[in-house]
Protein backbone atom coordinates (compact mmCIF):
# COMPACT_ATOMS: atom_id res chain seq x y z
CA UNK A 1 0.00 0.00 0.00
CA UNK A 2 2.73 2.40 1.03
CA UNK A 3 4.74 1.34 -1.96
CA UNK A 4 1.82 1.97 -4.32
CA UNK A 5 1.28 5.45 -2.83
CA UNK A 6 4.98 6.15 -3.17
CA UNK A 7 4.93 4.97 -6.76
CA UNK A 8 2.01 7.21 -7.77
CA UNK A 9 3.47 10.31 -6.10
CA UNK A 10 6.75 9.68 -7.84
CA UNK A 11 4.91 9.32 -11.15
CA UNK A 12 3.05 12.58 -10.52
CA UNK A 13 6.31 14.38 -9.73
CA UNK A 14 7.99 12.94 -12.82
CA UNK A 15 5.02 13.94 -15.00
CA UNK A 16 5.03 17.52 -13.73
CA UNK A 17 8.80 17.70 -14.09
CA UNK A 18 8.53 16.51 -17.65
CA UNK A 19 6.51 19.62 -18.58
CA UNK A 20 9.18 21.80 -16.97
CA UNK A 21 11.91 19.89 -18.80
CA UNK A 22 10.03 20.30 -22.05
CA UNK A 23 9.63 24.04 -21.35
CA UNK A 24 13.35 24.40 -20.77
CA UNK A 25 14.17 22.39 -23.90
CA UNK A 26 12.02 24.78 -25.97
CA UNK A 27 13.44 27.87 -24.28
CA UNK A 28 17.02 26.87 -25.02
CA UNK A 29 16.36 27.71 -28.66
CA UNK A 30 13.43 30.12 -28.26
CA UNK A 31 13.95 32.18 -25.10
CA UNK A 32 11.44 34.77 -23.84
CA UNK A 33 11.22 38.23 -25.34
CA UNK A 34 9.43 40.18 -22.63
CA UNK A 35 7.60 43.36 -23.60
CA UNK A 36 8.02 45.46 -20.48
CA UNK A 37 10.49 45.59 -17.59
CA UNK A 38 11.00 48.62 -15.35
CA UNK A 39 14.53 47.87 -14.11
CA UNK A 40 15.73 51.26 -15.48
CA UNK A 41 13.19 52.97 -13.20
CA UNK A 42 14.64 51.00 -10.26
CA UNK A 43 18.16 52.06 -11.26
CA UNK A 44 17.04 55.68 -11.04
CA UNK A 45 15.15 55.22 -7.77
CA UNK A 46 17.77 53.16 -5.97
CA UNK A 47 21.03 54.55 -7.37
CA UNK A 48 20.20 57.77 -9.22
CA UNK A 49 21.48 55.90 -12.30
CA UNK A 50 24.99 55.37 -10.88
CA UNK A 51 25.70 51.89 -12.19
CA UNK A 52 29.24 51.75 -10.81
CA UNK A 53 28.10 51.96 -7.22
CA UNK A 54 29.05 48.65 -5.54
CA UNK A 55 25.46 48.06 -4.41
CA UNK A 56 24.22 48.53 -7.99
CA UNK A 57 26.00 45.38 -9.22
CA UNK A 58 23.44 43.68 -11.46
CA UNK A 59 24.99 40.28 -10.73
CA UNK A 60 24.11 40.63 -7.06
CA UNK A 61 21.20 43.06 -6.88
CA UNK A 62 18.69 41.43 -4.52
CA UNK A 63 15.87 43.90 -3.85
CA UNK A 64 14.59 43.86 -7.44
CA UNK A 65 12.62 41.30 -9.50
CA UNK A 66 15.37 41.47 -12.10
CA UNK A 67 19.08 40.71 -11.93
CA UNK A 68 21.50 38.88 -14.19
CA UNK A 69 21.32 35.42 -12.54
CA UNK A 70 17.50 35.59 -12.51
CA UNK A 71 17.41 36.59 -16.20
CA UNK A 72 19.59 33.56 -17.02
CA UNK A 73 17.49 31.19 -14.91
CA UNK A 74 14.34 32.53 -16.59
CA UNK A 75 15.69 32.04 -20.14
CA UNK A 76 15.12 35.69 -20.95
CA UNK A 77 16.67 36.24 -24.37
CA UNK A 78 15.08 39.56 -25.25
CA UNK A 79 13.84 42.45 -23.17
CA UNK A 80 12.16 45.72 -23.99
CA UNK A 81 13.51 47.84 -21.14
CA UNK A 82 11.08 50.53 -20.19
CA UNK A 83 12.32 54.08 -20.44
CA UNK A 84 9.66 55.62 -18.23
CA UNK A 85 9.01 58.88 -16.45
CA UNK A 86 5.81 59.68 -14.56
CA UNK A 87 3.18 62.10 -15.80
CA UNK A 88 4.26 64.87 -13.42
CA UNK A 89 7.18 65.53 -15.80
CA UNK A 90 4.66 66.53 -18.51
CA UNK A 91 5.18 70.17 -19.57
CA UNK A 92 8.30 70.21 -17.37
CA UNK A 93 11.53 68.23 -17.76
CA UNK A 94 10.03 65.17 -19.50
CA UNK A 95 12.41 65.22 -22.47
CA UNK A 96 15.58 65.63 -20.39
CA UNK A 97 14.45 62.87 -18.04
CA UNK A 98 13.65 60.41 -20.83
CA UNK A 99 17.05 61.02 -22.42
CA UNK A 100 18.63 60.06 -19.08
CA UNK A 101 16.59 56.83 -18.88
CA UNK A 102 17.59 55.88 -22.42
CA UNK A 103 21.19 56.66 -21.51
CA UNK A 104 21.13 54.37 -18.46
CA UNK A 105 19.90 51.49 -20.67
CA UNK A 106 22.78 52.07 -23.09
CA UNK A 107 25.24 52.19 -20.17
CA UNK A 108 23.80 48.94 -18.81
CA UNK A 109 24.60 47.22 -22.14
CA UNK A 110 28.07 48.78 -22.13
CA UNK A 111 28.85 47.72 -18.55
CA UNK A 112 27.69 44.11 -18.91
CA UNK A 113 28.60 43.15 -22.50
CA UNK A 114 28.71 39.45 -21.55
CA UNK A 115 25.01 39.60 -20.69
CA UNK A 116 23.31 42.38 -22.65
CA UNK A 117 23.43 43.26 -26.32
CA UNK A 118 21.65 46.50 -27.16
CA UNK A 119 19.90 45.98 -30.50
CA UNK A 120 17.42 47.93 -32.61
CA UNK A 121 16.11 45.46 -35.16
CA UNK A 122 14.54 42.02 -35.38
CA UNK A 123 17.45 40.33 -37.10
CA UNK A 124 19.79 41.42 -34.30
CA UNK A 125 17.40 39.93 -31.73
CA UNK A 126 17.99 36.55 -33.39
CA UNK A 127 21.72 37.27 -33.46
CA UNK A 128 21.63 37.88 -29.68
CA UNK A 129 19.74 34.57 -29.21
CA UNK A 130 22.53 32.74 -31.04
CA UNK A 131 25.18 34.40 -28.88
CA UNK A 132 23.29 33.60 -25.67
CA UNK A 133 22.83 37.28 -24.77
CA UNK A 134 19.81 39.25 -23.68
CA UNK A 135 18.78 41.31 -26.71
CA UNK A 136 18.06 44.68 -25.12
CA UNK A 137 15.64 47.12 -26.69
CA UNK A 138 14.10 50.38 -25.55
CA UNK A 139 10.39 51.03 -25.13
CA UNK A 140 9.48 54.59 -24.19
CA UNK A 141 6.53 54.55 -21.80
CA UNK A 142 4.36 57.61 -22.13
CA UNK A 143 3.50 59.91 -25.03
CA UNK A 144 4.04 62.91 -22.74
CA UNK A 145 7.77 62.10 -22.98
CA UNK A 146 8.03 63.43 -26.55
CA UNK A 147 6.40 66.72 -25.54
CA UNK A 148 4.12 66.68 -28.63
CA UNK A 149 7.15 67.03 -30.92
CA UNK A 150 7.72 65.08 -34.14
CA UNK A 151 11.38 66.16 -33.95
CA UNK A 152 11.73 64.60 -30.48
CA UNK A 153 9.95 61.44 -31.72
CA UNK A 154 12.48 61.07 -34.54
CA UNK A 155 15.43 61.81 -32.26
CA UNK A 156 14.34 59.18 -29.75
CA UNK A 157 14.05 56.74 -32.64
CA UNK A 158 17.67 57.49 -33.55
CA UNK A 159 18.62 56.82 -29.92
CA UNK A 160 17.04 53.38 -30.08
CA UNK A 161 13.37 53.76 -29.15
CA UNK A 162 11.50 50.90 -30.86
CA UNK A 163 8.14 51.28 -29.20
CA UNK A 164 6.29 54.25 -27.79
CA UNK A 165 3.42 53.73 -25.33
CA UNK A 166 1.05 56.43 -26.55
CA UNK A 167 0.07 57.55 -23.06
CA UNK A 168 0.93 56.74 -19.46
CA UNK A 169 -1.68 57.56 -16.80
CA UNK A 170 -2.46 60.99 -18.26
CA UNK A 171 -3.82 62.45 -21.46
CA UNK A 172 -1.38 64.02 -23.85
CA UNK A 173 -2.56 66.92 -26.05
CA UNK A 174 -3.11 64.29 -28.78
CA UNK A 175 -4.26 61.02 -27.11
CA UNK A 176 -6.55 59.98 -24.26
CA UNK A 177 -5.48 57.55 -21.51
CA UNK A 178 -7.33 54.71 -19.74
CA UNK A 179 -8.39 56.87 -16.78
CA UNK A 180 -10.91 58.47 -19.16
CA UNK A 181 -12.72 55.11 -19.35
CA UNK A 182 -12.88 54.94 -15.55
CA UNK A 183 -14.29 58.46 -15.39
CA UNK A 184 -11.23 59.76 -13.55
CA UNK A 185 -10.01 61.95 -16.44
CA UNK A 186 -11.96 64.04 -18.94
CA UNK A 187 -11.98 62.85 -22.55
CA UNK A 188 -10.06 65.45 -24.53
CA UNK A 189 -9.11 64.00 -27.92
CA UNK A 190 -11.83 61.29 -27.78
CA UNK A 191 -9.18 58.82 -28.96
CA UNK A 192 -6.47 60.35 -31.12
CA UNK A 193 -6.52 64.00 -32.21
CA UNK A 194 -5.72 64.88 -35.85
CA UNK A 195 -2.12 65.55 -34.73
CA UNK A 196 -2.09 62.18 -32.93
CA UNK A 197 -3.10 60.48 -36.16
CA UNK A 198 -0.28 62.16 -38.06
CA UNK A 199 2.12 61.17 -35.27
CA UNK A 200 1.12 57.50 -35.70
CA UNK A 201 1.73 57.82 -39.40
CA UNK A 202 5.23 59.07 -38.62
CA UNK A 203 5.77 56.14 -36.24
CA UNK A 204 4.83 53.78 -39.09
CA UNK A 205 7.24 55.59 -41.41
CA UNK A 206 10.10 55.35 -38.91
CA UNK A 207 9.42 51.77 -37.77
CA UNK A 208 8.53 52.48 -34.14
CA UNK A 209 5.99 50.02 -32.74
CA UNK A 210 2.76 51.59 -31.47
CA UNK A 211 2.10 50.44 -27.89
CA UNK A 212 -1.49 50.67 -26.64
CA UNK A 213 -1.05 49.66 -22.99
CA UNK A 214 -2.36 52.55 -20.80
CA UNK A 215 -4.52 54.18 -23.50
CA UNK A 216 -8.33 54.58 -23.55
CA UNK A 217 -10.47 52.18 -25.59
CA UNK A 218 -11.19 54.99 -28.09
CA UNK A 219 -7.44 55.51 -28.55
CA UNK A 220 -6.95 51.73 -29.00
CA UNK A 221 -9.61 51.63 -31.71
CA UNK A 222 -8.30 54.72 -33.53
CA UNK A 223 -4.76 53.33 -33.52
CA UNK A 224 -5.79 49.84 -34.65
CA UNK A 225 -7.70 51.42 -37.51
CA UNK A 226 -5.03 53.88 -38.62
CA UNK A 227 -1.79 51.96 -38.26
CA UNK A 228 -0.44 50.44 -41.45
CA UNK A 229 1.50 47.89 -39.36
CA UNK A 230 0.46 45.61 -36.47
CA UNK A 231 0.52 47.21 -33.02
CA UNK A 232 1.32 45.86 -29.56
CA UNK A 233 0.05 46.02 -26.03
CA UNK A 234 3.41 45.75 -24.25
CA UNK A 235 1.94 44.96 -20.81
CA UNK A 236 -1.85 44.44 -20.60
CA UNK A 237 -4.08 41.45 -19.81
CA UNK A 238 -7.65 40.38 -20.68
CA UNK A 239 -10.53 42.63 -19.55
CA UNK A 240 -13.13 39.87 -19.65
CA UNK A 241 -11.21 37.92 -16.98
CA UNK A 242 -10.45 40.98 -14.84
CA UNK A 243 -12.44 44.13 -15.68
CA UNK A 244 -9.67 46.63 -15.05
CA UNK A 245 -9.41 49.42 -17.62
CA UNK A 246 -5.68 48.70 -18.13
CA UNK A 247 -6.74 45.39 -19.70
CA UNK A 248 -7.90 44.72 -23.27
CA UNK A 249 -11.64 44.15 -23.88
CA UNK A 250 -12.85 41.38 -26.19
CA UNK A 251 -14.08 43.67 -28.99
CA UNK A 252 -10.58 45.17 -29.15
CA UNK A 253 -9.11 41.64 -29.13
CA UNK A 254 -11.13 41.05 -32.32
CA UNK A 255 -9.36 44.01 -33.91
CA UNK A 256 -6.05 42.67 -32.61
CA UNK A 257 -6.82 39.43 -34.42
CA UNK A 258 -7.80 41.23 -37.61
CA UNK A 259 -4.61 43.28 -37.69
CA UNK A 260 -2.20 40.48 -36.63
CA UNK A 261 -1.36 42.58 -33.59
CA UNK A 262 -0.05 41.36 -30.21
CA UNK A 263 -1.08 41.45 -26.54
CA UNK A 264 1.79 40.84 -24.12
CA UNK A 265 0.21 39.75 -20.85
CA UNK A 266 0.92 41.74 -17.66
CA UNK A 267 1.54 39.76 -14.45
CA UNK A 268 0.54 42.54 -11.98
CA UNK A 269 -1.84 40.82 -9.51
CA UNK A 270 -4.35 43.69 -9.77
CA UNK A 271 -4.64 43.17 -13.54
CA UNK A 272 -4.63 39.34 -13.33
CA UNK A 273 -7.22 38.71 -10.61
CA UNK A 274 -8.52 42.24 -9.89
CA UNK A 275 -7.25 41.72 -6.33
CA UNK A 276 -3.96 41.87 -4.45
CA UNK A 277 -3.35 38.14 -4.72
CA UNK A 278 -3.08 36.06 -7.86
CA UNK A 279 -1.56 32.79 -9.04
CA UNK A 280 0.44 31.48 -11.97
CA UNK A 281 -2.54 29.44 -13.31
CA UNK A 282 -4.60 32.67 -13.40
CA UNK A 283 -1.97 34.22 -15.68
CA UNK A 284 -2.26 31.10 -17.84
CA UNK A 285 -6.03 31.71 -17.93
CA UNK A 286 -5.41 35.17 -19.45
CA UNK A 287 -3.11 33.63 -22.06
CA UNK A 288 -5.72 30.95 -22.84
CA UNK A 289 -8.42 33.59 -23.20
CA UNK A 290 -6.47 35.88 -25.54
CA UNK A 291 -5.45 32.84 -27.57
CA UNK A 292 -9.09 31.76 -27.81
CA UNK A 293 -10.40 35.20 -28.87
CA UNK A 294 -7.53 36.62 -30.92
CA UNK A 295 -5.58 33.50 -31.91
CA UNK A 296 -2.29 31.93 -30.85
CA UNK A 297 -0.43 34.51 -32.94
CA UNK A 298 -1.71 37.34 -30.74
CA UNK A 299 -0.22 36.32 -27.37
CA UNK A 300 3.00 37.47 -25.76
CA UNK A 301 4.50 38.16 -22.34
CA UNK A 302 4.99 41.59 -20.78
CA UNK A 303 5.52 40.80 -17.10
CA UNK A 304 5.92 44.40 -15.89
CA UNK A 305 8.61 43.19 -13.48
CA UNK A 306 10.10 45.93 -11.31
CA UNK A 307 7.21 48.18 -12.24
CA UNK A 308 4.64 46.55 -9.95
CA UNK A 309 4.31 45.82 -6.26
CA UNK A 310 2.32 42.56 -6.28
CA UNK A 311 3.00 39.49 -8.41
CA UNK A 312 1.25 36.12 -8.63
CA UNK A 313 2.37 33.20 -6.50
CA UNK A 314 4.77 31.25 -8.74
CA UNK A 315 5.80 34.27 -10.84
CA UNK A 316 7.68 36.27 -8.22
CA UNK A 317 10.62 37.33 -10.40
CA UNK A 318 12.06 37.00 -13.92
CA UNK A 319 13.46 33.53 -13.22
CA UNK A 320 9.97 32.00 -13.25
CA UNK A 321 9.00 32.10 -16.95
CA UNK A 322 9.77 28.35 -17.48
CA UNK A 323 7.17 27.46 -14.83
CA UNK A 324 4.54 29.41 -16.77
CA UNK A 325 5.52 27.66 -20.00
CA UNK A 326 5.29 24.29 -18.21
CA UNK A 327 1.72 25.17 -17.18
CA UNK A 328 0.79 25.97 -20.80
CA UNK A 329 2.28 22.69 -22.01
CA UNK A 330 0.22 20.97 -19.32
CA UNK A 331 -2.79 22.73 -20.90
CA UNK A 332 -1.93 21.23 -24.27
CA UNK A 333 -0.45 24.28 -25.94
CA UNK A 334 1.54 23.01 -28.92
CA UNK A 335 5.25 23.64 -29.23
CA UNK A 336 4.59 26.07 -32.10
CA UNK A 337 2.09 28.03 -30.02
CA UNK A 338 4.53 28.20 -27.12
CA UNK A 339 7.36 29.41 -29.36
CA UNK A 340 4.95 32.02 -30.72
CA UNK A 341 4.15 33.24 -27.23
CA UNK A 342 7.81 33.30 -26.20
CA UNK A 343 9.31 35.16 -29.12
CA UNK A 344 8.04 34.34 -32.61
CA UNK A 345 4.91 36.51 -32.39
CA UNK A 346 6.89 39.58 -31.33
CA UNK A 347 9.50 38.93 -34.01
CA UNK A 348 6.70 38.68 -36.59
CA UNK A 349 5.10 41.98 -35.50
CA UNK A 350 8.45 43.79 -35.27
CA UNK A 351 9.47 42.50 -38.74
CA UNK A 352 6.18 43.71 -40.22
CA UNK A 353 6.71 47.11 -38.60
CA UNK A 354 10.20 47.19 -40.16
CA UNK A 355 8.78 46.23 -43.56
CA UNK A 356 6.14 48.97 -43.45
CA UNK A 357 8.71 51.58 -42.42
CA UNK A 358 9.99 53.63 -45.27
CA UNK A 359 12.77 56.17 -45.01
CA UNK A 360 12.25 57.20 -48.63
CA UNK A 361 8.90 58.71 -47.74
CA UNK A 362 9.31 62.28 -46.55
CA UNK A 363 9.07 62.98 -42.81
CA UNK A 364 5.95 64.50 -41.31
CA UNK A 365 6.73 68.17 -40.76
CA UNK A 366 3.63 70.05 -39.66
CA UNK A 367 3.94 70.64 -35.91
CA UNK A 368 1.17 70.56 -33.33
CA UNK A 369 -0.66 73.90 -33.10
CA UNK A 370 0.39 76.24 -30.35
CA UNK A 371 -3.08 76.35 -28.86
CA UNK A 372 -3.03 72.56 -28.31
CA UNK A 373 0.00 72.94 -26.01
CA UNK A 374 -0.21 73.61 -22.32
CA UNK A 375 2.14 74.82 -19.62
CA UNK A 376 4.16 77.93 -18.99
CA UNK A 377 7.67 76.44 -19.26
CA UNK A 378 7.74 76.58 -23.06
CA UNK A 379 9.16 79.13 -25.46
CA UNK A 380 7.39 79.65 -28.76
CA UNK A 381 10.23 80.03 -31.26
CA UNK A 382 9.11 79.12 -34.73
CA UNK A 383 5.43 79.61 -34.08
CA UNK A 384 4.41 82.74 -36.01
CA UNK A 385 1.00 82.51 -34.29
CA UNK A 386 2.70 83.28 -30.97
CA UNK A 387 3.52 86.72 -32.31
CA UNK A 388 0.08 87.30 -33.79
CA UNK A 389 -1.73 86.02 -30.68
CA UNK A 390 0.25 88.60 -28.75
CA UNK A 391 -0.65 91.31 -31.27
CA UNK A 392 -4.27 90.21 -31.30
CA UNK A 393 -4.45 90.45 -27.52
CA UNK A 394 -2.95 93.96 -27.71
CA UNK A 395 -5.43 94.96 -30.42
CA UNK A 396 -8.32 93.57 -28.41
CA UNK A 397 -7.31 95.56 -25.33
CA UNK A 398 -6.96 98.72 -27.47
CA UNK A 399 -10.37 98.40 -29.12
CA UNK A 400 -12.00 97.59 -25.78
CA UNK A 401 -10.38 100.72 -24.31
CA UNK A 402 -11.61 102.90 -27.18
CA UNK A 403 -15.11 101.46 -26.82
CA UNK A 404 -15.15 102.19 -23.09
CA UNK A 405 -13.76 105.66 -23.79
CA UNK A 406 -16.57 106.37 -26.23
CA UNK A 407 -19.07 105.19 -23.63
CA UNK A 408 -17.47 107.70 -21.24
CA UNK A 409 -16.60 104.98 -18.84
CA UNK A 410 -12.90 105.73 -18.68
C1 LIG B 1 20.32 45.76 -37.52
O2 LIG B 1 21.06 46.70 -36.76
C3 LIG B 1 22.47 46.54 -36.87
C4 LIG B 1 23.11 47.51 -35.91
O5 LIG B 1 22.68 48.82 -36.18
C6 LIG B 1 22.91 46.75 -38.31
O7 LIG B 1 24.28 46.55 -38.42
C8 LIG B 1 22.17 45.77 -39.20
O9 LIG B 1 22.48 46.04 -40.55
C10 LIG B 1 20.68 45.88 -39.00
N11 LIG B 1 20.03 44.83 -39.74
C12 LIG B 1 19.02 45.06 -40.54
C13 LIG B 1 18.48 43.86 -41.27
O14 LIG B 1 18.55 46.17 -40.70
C1 LIG C 1 -12.21 41.69 -39.56
O2 LIG C 1 -11.94 41.57 -40.93
C3 LIG C 1 -12.96 40.93 -41.66
C4 LIG C 1 -12.52 40.70 -43.06
O5 LIG C 1 -11.48 41.57 -43.42
C6 LIG C 1 -14.22 41.75 -41.57
O7 LIG C 1 -15.28 41.11 -42.25
C8 LIG C 1 -14.61 41.93 -40.13
O9 LIG C 1 -15.71 42.80 -40.00
C10 LIG C 1 -13.46 42.50 -39.34
N11 LIG C 1 -13.81 42.50 -37.95
C12 LIG C 1 -13.66 43.59 -37.20
C13 LIG C 1 -14.04 43.42 -35.78
O14 LIG C 1 -13.22 44.63 -37.64
C1 LIG D 1 -4.86 17.58 -22.94
O2 LIG D 1 -4.88 16.48 -23.83
C3 LIG D 1 -5.07 15.26 -23.18
C4 LIG D 1 -4.89 14.13 -24.19
O5 LIG D 1 -5.60 14.43 -25.35
C6 LIG D 1 -6.45 15.23 -22.51
O7 LIG D 1 -6.65 14.04 -21.82
C8 LIG D 1 -6.51 16.41 -21.53
O9 LIG D 1 -7.81 16.48 -20.98
C10 LIG D 1 -6.17 17.71 -22.20
N11 LIG D 1 -6.06 18.74 -21.19
C12 LIG D 1 -6.61 19.95 -21.31
C13 LIG D 1 -6.42 20.90 -20.18
O14 LIG D 1 -7.23 20.29 -22.31
ZN1 LIG E 1 2.96 50.69 -17.43
Which residues span the domain enclosing 60?
A: 17-378
The answer to whether residue 8 is domain-embedded is no
Q: What is the CATH number of the domain that holds 180?
A: 3.20.20.140
Establish whether residue 127 lines the binding site of ligand 1, counting it when its CB lies within 6 angstroms of any ligand atom: no
Residue from 78, 119, 120, 121 whose mutation best tests the ligand 1 pocket (most atoms within 8 A of CB): 121
- Cα–Cα distance, 23 to 321 (Å, whole number): 9
pLDDT by residue, tens only, the chain of 410 residues: 455 555 555 555 555 589 999 999 999 999 999 999 999 999 999 999 999 999 999 999 999 999 999 999 999 999 999 999 999 999 999 999 999 999 999 999 999 999 999 999 999 999 999 999 999 999 999 999 999 999 999 999 999 999 999 999 999 999 999 999 999 999 999 999 999 999 999 999 999 999 999 999 999 999 999 999 999 999 999 999 999 999 999 999 999 999 999 999 999 999 999 999 999 999 999 999 999 999 999 999 999 999 999 999 999 999 999 999 999 999 999 999 999 999 999 999 999 999 999 887 999 999 999 999 988 888 999 998 555 554 444 445 555 555 555 555 44
The answer to whether residue 229 is domain-embedded is yes
405 and 366 share a domain?
no
81 and 178 share a domain?
yes
Flag whether 28 is marked binding: no
311 and 391 share a domain?
no
Is 65 among the catalytic positions? no
The answer to whether residue 172 is domain-embedded is yes
Provide the 8-state DSSP code for 301.
E
**Set 65, 144, 214, 244: catalytic member:** 214
Is 364 among the catalytic positions? no
Dihedral sign, Cα of residue 383, residue 384, residue 386, residue 389? negative
- Cα–Cα distance, 82 to 196 (Å, whole number): 22
Task: Considering only CA atoms, give the Rg of the chain.
Answer: 24
344 and 408 share a domain?
no
270 and 392 share a domain?
no
User: Model confidence over 174-198: pLDDT tens digits?
Assistant: 999 999 999 999 999 999 999 999 9
The answer to whether residue 148 is domain-embedded is yes
Provide the 8-state DSSP code for 229.
S
64 and 131 share a domain?
yes
97 and 41 share a domain?
yes
Is 38 among the catalytic positions? yes
The answer to whether residue 1 is domain-embedded is no
Task: Report how far ligand 3's centroid is from the alpha carbon of 336 (Å).
Answer: 17
**Set 304, 306, 337, 352: catalytic member:** 304
Task: Report how far ligand 2's centroid is from the alpha carbon of 287 (Å).
Answer: 22
330 and 394 share a domain?
no
295 and 356 share a domain?
yes
The answer to whether residue 12 is domain-embedded is no
394 and 281 share a domain?
no
Q: Whose CA is nearest to atom 3 of ligand 3?
A: 332
Residue from 109, 124, 357 whose mutation best tests the ligand 1 pocket (most atoms within 8 A of CB): 124
Q: Whose CA is nearest to atom 2 of ligand 2?
A: 258
Helix (H) or strand (E) holding 193: none
Is 222 among the catalytic positions? no
Flag whether 36 is marked binding: yes
Domain tally for the chain?
2
DSSP codes joined into one string, 341-389: IIIIHHHHHHHHHHHH--TTSPPP-PPPPGGG---SS---TT-HHHHHH
The answer to whether residue 11 is domain-embedded is no
Cα 38 → chain centroid: 10
Burial 68-82 (b: 16+ CB within 10 A, else e): bebbeebbbbbbbbb
The answer to whether residue 224 is domain-embedded is yes
Flag whether 289 is marked binding: no
The pTM of this model reads 0.91
DSSP codes joined into one string, 103-159: HHHHHHHHH-TTTEEE--SHHHHHHHHHHT-EEEEEEEE-GGGGTT-HHHHHHHHHT
Is 141 among the catalytic positions? yes
- Cα–Cα distance, 136 to 329 (Å, whole number): 27
44 and 122 share a domain?
yes
Phi, psi angle pair for 119, to nearest 5°: -130, 165
257 and 389 share a domain?
no
Amino acid sequence: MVIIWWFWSLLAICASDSFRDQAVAIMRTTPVIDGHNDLPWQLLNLFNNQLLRPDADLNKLAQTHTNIPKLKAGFVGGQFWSAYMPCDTQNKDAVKRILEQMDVIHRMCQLYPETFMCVTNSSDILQAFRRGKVASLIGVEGGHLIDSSLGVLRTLYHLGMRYLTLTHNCNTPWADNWLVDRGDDEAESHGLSPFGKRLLNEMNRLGVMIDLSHVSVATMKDALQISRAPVIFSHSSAYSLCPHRRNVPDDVLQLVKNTSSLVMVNFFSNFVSCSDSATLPQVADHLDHIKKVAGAGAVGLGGDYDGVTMLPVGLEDVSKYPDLIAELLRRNWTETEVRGLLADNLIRVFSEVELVSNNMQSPEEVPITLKELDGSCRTYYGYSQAHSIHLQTGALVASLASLLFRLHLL
